[in-house]
Homo-oligomer: A and B are copies of this chain.
């Protein structure tokens, strides 16, 4: 047992990420040991540490994958919903997709719960990392151009609206009595469309 071809290596690497994602989601970062991940793949720690410098780097990889996937989906939804007569349409469609992600168990545990704690929180909101915030801000900026939002409130509102979806996702996940995705989305729409 020793060196395998490049494509095999790439395969083990992605299997490592895949398995790590599954365990991080199920048990959380702290309660998932590197030994656990390797055991699941009949692999040794040496292999893992060959592909990733640290447990944190492996986590960051998992985290990034999820963020990029979410970003693509949200952007796609926004573009598809674009509507010349309704300035809110694209923005709301993107936010709705984001809301659906915030209700997903993997997104919650990995991105929303463990993310800020594992990656240092300064890095967490760094512009080039937080794809969600970039998109929300772009949307709010557009609303501002259309006259619905004061320009000086764009940054603050973008963060607040995004965070509101994070919190709502959590609430939905633990099925808070009287809350459904539809109801939350309706409330969010009210929130956004009320803006002046």
Contacts and interface: CB of A to CB of B under 8 A. Distances in A.
A122 interface: yes
Contacts of A153: 183, 186-187, 190
7 contacts: A121-B174, A125-B171, A126-B174, A156-B179, A160-B167, A160-B184, A191-B191
A30 interface: yes
B173 A121 contact: yes
A89 interface: no
Interface in A111-127: 112-114, 116-118, 121-122, 124-127
B113 A121 contact: yes
Contacts of A65: none
Contacts of A195: 190-191, 194
Interface residues of A, number: 50
A162 interface: yes
So how many copies of this chain end up in the complex?
2
Nearest to A190: B153
A163 B152 contact: no
A64 B45 CA distance: 38
Nearest to A157: B187
A108 B117 CA distance: 11
Given A30-B117, A113-B121, A117-B29, A168 B190 contact: no
